[in-house]
């Protein structure tokens, strides 16, 4: 039997380049939320891919950007800390957006990284092959990448090749997790993220970024249903009104969609009880950041 390989791989990039879509594709199941709104991922989310040859622990980081509040500071620190503790760094860019200032902001930080760095050009299904070649040449001048792999995380195009290439860079090592484990995050975290995803889906403007979701209680009932009680935290009364909606319509829609996904995750019938609470400027208050799961000890 060949030697087994294992290691940690960080996925970094500007907000909204498809890091979470790739993570879910690689793992084969939804463990991280996907949204068309930037800065969706706020914590390091670890996905685990295990086969006969290797175990890869993928770390989906928040998009690296210039922070505007303490939550933003936290997100950037989380992403940057991941660069120093992994075997490979995947720098993901969006093919149809091309090179931008945000990429240079990240490339400047990658200069100090000693691990092999892959350039992953995602969303290649959105551009002409000729554009791809010039994009590769442009990025090649910026940094000495160990590998350059174009993919479409959405369609799965070239993802198997990327997985095989990543394995070659991993050291020999043990299985850190059981074969059937796909994430190291507790159920509570995944459930809160699924609720937050539905808030992102249904709301616009400042609301998506002003929301945190806290799981208050998970309790198995006598009839084998699971009661999940959660609070959606927002910053202003006006936002609370929008989240509840006319005669509770918005909250009902969020709850209905989230409940279906949580049922699929837990394999049990779910009763989801959602409340909306106002906590002014929570994104700039350390105590609230800690309460809502954005903890300094996470990086």
Mean pLDDT of 94-106: 88
Read off the pLDDT band of 31 (50, 70, 90).
confident
More confident residue, 156 or 42: 156
Rounded-to-integer distance, Cα 254 and Cα 169, Å: 42
Of 112, 132, 116, the C-alpha closest to 124 is 132
Whole-angstrom distance, CA of residue 279 vs CA of residue 290: 14
Across 43-176, the runs of DSSP E, i.e. the strands, are: 45-50, 54-60, 88-94, 117-122, 147-150
Q: CATH 3.30.300.20 in the chain, residues? A: 187-298
Contact between 268 and 229 (Cβ < 8 Å): no
Query: Strand pairing partners for 148?
Result: 119
188: CB partners within 8 A, 6+ apart: 215, 218
3-state secondary structure of 87: coil
Position 178 scores a pLDDT of 85
| pLDDT on residue 39 | 46
Mean pLDDT of all residues in 67-84 = 65
pLDDT for the residue numbered 3:
86
Residue 10's beta-bridge partner residues?
59, 89
| Domain 187-298 CATH assignment equals 3.30.300.20 | yes
pLDDT tens-digit readout, 132-165: 999 999 999 999 999 999 999 999 999 999 999 9
For the 5-168 domain, the top CATH level (class) is alpha beta
How close are the terminal C-alpha atoms of the chain, in Å? 37
Whole-number pLDDT of residue 224: 81
Sorted by sequence, the CB contacts under 8 Å of residue 103 that are 6+ apart come out as 14, 93
Binding residues: 13-20, 60-64, 122-125
266 CB neighbour count, 10 Å cutoff: 15
Question: Which pLDDT tens digit goes with each residue over 1-12?
Answer: 468 999 989 888
Helix (H) or strand (E) holding 198: helix 187-202
Nearest alpha-carbon partner for 199 in 225, 227, 226, 230:
230
Whose structure tokens read 């929008």?
A: 242
The encoded tokens of residue 252 equal: 């009902």
Q: pTM for this one?
A: 0.67
Give the residue range(s) of CATH 3.40.50.300 domains in the chain.
5-168
Q: Binding site residues for GTP, as ranges?
A: 13-20, 60-64, 122-125
The stretch 167-173 carries a mean pLDDT of 95
């Amino acid at each position: 039997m060949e030697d087994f390989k294992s290691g940690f791989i960080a996925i970094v990039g500007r907000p909204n380049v498809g890091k979470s879509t790739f993570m879910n594709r690689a793992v084969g199941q939804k463990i991280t939320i996907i949204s068309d709104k930037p800065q969706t991922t706020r914590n390091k989310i670890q996905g685990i891919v295990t086969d006969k040859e290797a175990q890869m622990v993928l770390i989906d980081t928040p998009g690296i950007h210039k922070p505007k509040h303490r939550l933003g500071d936290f997100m950037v620190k989380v992403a940057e800390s991941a660069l120093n503790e992994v075997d490979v760094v995947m720098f993901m860019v969006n093919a149809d957006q091309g090179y931008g200032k945000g990429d240079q902001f990240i490339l400047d930080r990658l200069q100090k990284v000693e691990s092999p760095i892959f350039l992953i050009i995602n969303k290649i299904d959105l551009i002409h092959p000729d554009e791809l070649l010039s994009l590769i040449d442009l990025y090649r001048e910026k940094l000495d990448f160990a590998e350059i792999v174009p993919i479409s995380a959405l369609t799965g195009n070239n993802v198997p090749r990327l997985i095989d290439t990543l394995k070659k860079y991993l050291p020999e090592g043990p299985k850190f997790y059981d074969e059937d484990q796909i994430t190291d995050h507790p159920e509570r975290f995944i459930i809160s993220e699924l609720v937050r995803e539905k808030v992102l889906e249904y709301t616009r403007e400042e609301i998506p970024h002003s929301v945190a979701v806290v799981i208050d209680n998970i309790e198995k009932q006598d009839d084998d249903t699971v009661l999940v009680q959660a609070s959606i935290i927002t910053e202003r009364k006006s936002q609370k009104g929008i989240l509840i909606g006319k005669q509770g319509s918005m909250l009902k829609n969020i709850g209905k969609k989230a409940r279906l996904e949580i049922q699929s995750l837990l394999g049990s019938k779910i009763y989801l009880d959602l409340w909306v609470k106002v906590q002014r400027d929570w994104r700039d208050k350390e105590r609230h950041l800690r309460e809502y799961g954005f903890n300094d000890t996470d990086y």
